[in-house]
Structure 1
Amino acid sequence: MDPAVKVLLYFLVVGVLGEQTPAFDRTDAPSVTWPDWMSFLPDYIPLSSLAMPGTHDTMAFYGGPLAECQIWNLENQYRAGVRFLDIRCRHYQDQLPIFHGVSYQRTYFLQVLQDTVKFLTEYPSETILMRLKEEYEPYQNTRSFYKSVAEVLSQVGEHWFLRTNSLPTLGQARGKVVILQDFSSKGEGEAFGPPYPGPMSISDAYQVSDDAVKLAEVERHLTVAQNGDPDRAYLTYCSGVHWILYTPEGLARKINPRVLEYLNIKTSVARRRSVGIVIMDFPGAELVRKIILDNWM
């Protein structure tokens, strides 16, 4: 059989049946779950110092190969152990639908928060860090993005959100959502949470023309995190795209296994802290677990 035909058949089969490996998952649910891993950590630990699995464009399930970044629904992400979300809302007629670029993701910010509250009700030992970003172009609004966010938070219940200017300790944040505010509140009122990016150290080289270069940057920043300020948050995005060379899924197939290798062989010599927040597309359950375990390494 022609090699090109073999490759085409492989991707057709994977697209229908899914694929599940330790570092990459294209199936509906993780093979292993750890929904209460934060319950094993002491209250005094700053969230900024925790190793935490995260997902890039957390709700990006639709829109074709260049837009789709995840396969697990939000409940399964939480149960797998994901604790950092990347939530992007378009401000559309005073509502907050979830978008990735131009692609509507068939849900709203309110539903994301309701699903989150449901999880936190079941597992009050946990906390969720939520980057909240205004996405794409606003359309026919009578109020600011800030005011629309405030209305949704009020609908859900303000007590579910920890309003703070800096990342708190785990004990202060248990059972709550901490919003990382990636939009302006100037002239509006109190911020919803710490500013994003603010004082955080972030590696987000999302335009990728060479996966080896991307991997080197990921590994560099993971190393920086381990030797960095224990009171500073370090966010490493393993995700990326190129409109010709790499879809988010295609890059994740290459990068995620290498990140797992890095975590398996990294040295603990002279480490000051964890690898920080590791943000992925299509993560596998073992990769998620390995990031969590770094809190005890």
Structure 2
Amino acid sequence: MKRSLAVALCVLTALAVTPRPTLAADASYRTLSAATNPDWMAPLPGATSLAALSIPGTHETMSTHGGILTQTQEDFGDSGGTLARQLTAGIRMIDIRARVNTGNTFTIHHGATYQNANFDDVLGKLGAFLAAHPGETVVLRLKQECTGELGSCTDVSGQAGFADIFDSYTARYPNLFWQPSVTRATGAATPALATVRGKVVLAVLNGPRGGVIEHYGLAQFAGWHDGSSTYVQDEYTVSSVGAIPTKRDQVRRFLDVTSAADRSTMYVNFASGASIFAQPQQVAGGAFGVQGVNPFLLTYLNEGPEVHTPVVRTGMLMLDFPGNGLIAKVIALNTAR
């Protein structure tokens, strides 16, 4: 959770704000349960670069608790149940936020809110899914969540460093990760799909205030900091519902860049955003007559050359409350060319 949003959450909690009604679901929004794409990568050529793919992902993958300013995904159960359903739906990039807890462990948080899951839950669900679907791969962004500031969490003192704890997990799950991506000393080159089938690929290990930890992940993302960078669009502050069109345009412009760029380069595009005056569900689904990012995306991806240059590659598209039609459209781009 970003710092400004974390502070806002505390303010609203103190004021006992009444939640707004849930927005109507559609093909782009809050219909993940209708999506079933557990093996969509398996038929793709093994020589395909991971960077060349269009991959549906989720922002704050595990965030289902804490109220309207914190929830970013539909709730399919604690202890990794939500992640498991997303994987079955076709989600292949996940965004996990961890707190350092007692016993040198990671618990999953969105800001101050514990999401009723631990990192073992995450790795267990990933391992079970990939064992059952060995033609797939999952890309992981892992971030140290706690800043110790108002509205955020605080890591438990007296524990090992974040990187050392992460290493202890990779040692306990030695066959789960694509090893070049979890090597502290050297960033990995972006792999071909055949190299990483049945594995988790760490894209980046982010610190709590931005920047990368050591050299974990893909070398291309050495400049991935808090917010946007060369290969990442993450303009996460949407100041009000009236600012949603600006966010839509940021996502659109980065989509166009990604679609036209060299296919050996990976791009990550966050469709998410929020503030005290624009809840994640409103940014994703729309509110007060303003079109949300998700329905805009589904329309934009379906439009042909008579409207604009068609998008042929989305890169990693990180979504809040994704719908089955939007997930299916992103996946379909991989076989449309």
Residue 278 of structure 1 pairs with residue 298 of structure 2: no
Kept in 1: contact 2:35–2:327 (CA 8 A): no
Give, as a single letter, the amino acid of the residue that structure 2 aligns with 1:74: L
1:95 Cα deviation after fit: 1.6
Q: Distance in 1 between matches of 2:136 and 2:193?
A: 8
Q: How many residues align?
A: 276
- Alignment-derived partner of residue 162 in structure 1: 178
Residue 207 of structure 1 pairs with residue 237 of structure 2: yes
Residue 142 of structure 1 pairs with residue 159 of structure 2: yes
1:196 Cα deviation after fit: 7.5
Give, as a single letter, the amino acid of the residue that structure 1 aligns with 2:176: W
Q: Distance in 2 between matches of 1:112 and 1:98?
A: 9
Structure 1, residues 202-234: CA drift from partner, whole Å, max 9, x if none? 111100120111101111000110101111111
Residue 23 of structure 1 pairs with residue 28 of structure 2: yes
Q: Distance in 1 between matches of 2:273 and 2:309?
A: 30
Q: Classify 1:169/1:271 alpha carbon distance in 2 versus 1 (closer, same or farther; 3 Å).
A: farther
- Alignment-derived partner of residue 79 in structure 1: 88
Structure 1, residues 123-166: CA drift from partner, whole Å, max 9, x if none? 000000000111013221331111111112222x2121112212
Match of 1:109 among 103, 116, 119: 119
Considering only aligned residues, what root-mean-square deviation do their CA atoms show, in Å? 2.2
1:88-237 maps to which residues of 2 (within 5 A)? 88-93=97-102, 94-137=104-147, 138-155=155-172, 157-164=173-180, 165-183=188-206, 184-186=212-214, 191-194=215-218, 197-198=221-222, 201-209=231-239, 210-237=243-270
Match of 1:256 among 294, 308, 325: 294
- Alignment-derived partner of residue 55 in structure 2: 52
Q: Distance in 2 between matches of 1:198 and 1:291?
A: 26
Kept in 1: contact 2:312–2:333 (CA 8 A): no
1:91 Cα deviation after fit: 1.3
- Alignment-derived partner of residue 70 in structure 2: 67
Identity %: 31
Q: Classify 1:272/1:66 alpha carbon distance in 2 versus 1 (closer, same or farther; 3 Å).
A: closer
Q: Distance in 2 between matches of 1:265 and 1:160?
A: 38
Deviation above 2 Å: which 4+ runs of structure 1? 181-186, 195-200, 266-273
Q: Distance in 2 between matches of 1:123 and 1:44?
A: 19
Q: Which consecutive residues of structure 1, in runs of 5 or more, have no partner in the other structure? A: 1-9
Q: Distance in 1 between matches of 2:111 and 2:219?
A: 22
Give, as a single letter, the amino acid of the residue that structure 1 aligns with 2:327: V
Match of 2:327 among 274, 278, 288: 288
Kept in 2: contact 1:66–1:248 (CA 8 A): yes
Q: Distance in 1 between matches of 2:118 and 2:256?
A: 36
Q: Classify 1:258/1:86 alpha carbon distance in 2 versus 1 (closer, same or farther; 3 Å).
A: same
